[in-house]
Amino acid sequence: MKYNSIIFDLDGTLLDTLEDLTDSINFMLDAYQFPRRTSEQICAGVGNGIVRLVERSLPDGLNSEQIQDAFQVFTNHYSKNCYNKTKPYAGIMEVLEVLKKNNMKLAIVSNKADTAVQTLNNIFFQEYISVAIGERPGLLRKPAPDLVLLALERLNSTKEETLYVGDSEVDIETARNAGIQCLSVSWGFRDALTLQNSGADTMIDEPNKILQYTNTEINTEINS
């Protein structure tokens, strides 16, 4: 089936955000003289939202007030430094250009805080992606379907005509809960084996293969 709408995850799918996340987590840990985390440890913790990432990065035994204080330190630092080293994955911008030329409807849905999602979309994808939704009050974060359903409403798209593209087990579960098809990508924060073990139905290893699942008419343009 060919789709005319795509909902993208952000971190690990469109953007490689790992270095900036690692820097901000370690800034927070340094502030409390806690042990630093490696980028591999941060990578393993990404996918369930920033609060969970902070909780997983902190040492055990802290109370809720200490965790909240540390979260605020992280948030203040990351909000000012979320695009220092962050960049689109190779091939992403070219794919978005083709999708735009073919009038595909595009959205971002992320468990990242909504303010950071808006900032990053405005910096990197404003020309291509009209709907960007992050974690916000009143809506459950992924893998609940709330954010995806809001994106469908704003795109004026149906579940049947929409493809969800993401890099993690959370994305697979999110798409399943929302009742739409998931295309898993292996260039992000989870490798192919992890995705397979998490129930990935369809997987690709480079961005231009997204076009095979869309109503584009110029699929060869990227390679020409």
For 88-132, the DSSP string reads EPTTHHHHHHHHHHTT-EEEEEEEEEHHHHHHHHHHHTTTT--EE
Q: For domain 18-81, is the CATH number 1.25.10?
A: no
Regions of the chain short of the pLDDT cut 70: 217-224
What is the reported pLDDT for 222? 53
- Tell me the pLDDT tens digit for each residue of 175-203: 999 999 999 999 999 999 999 999 999 99
CB 194 within 8 A of CB 172: no
Neighbours of 77 (CB within 10 A): 18
* Residue ranges matching CATH 3.40.50.1000 in the chain: 5-16+86-223
Question: Could you tell me the maximum CA-CA distance found in the chain, to the nearest angstrom?
Answer: 57
In CATH terms, the fold of domain 5-16+86-223 is: Rossmann fold (3.40.50)
Domain with CATH 1.10.150 in the chain: 18-81
The amino acid at 69: D
Question: pTM for this one?
Answer: 0.91
pLDDT value of residue 49? 81
What local confidence, expressed as pLDDT, does residue 76 receive? 95
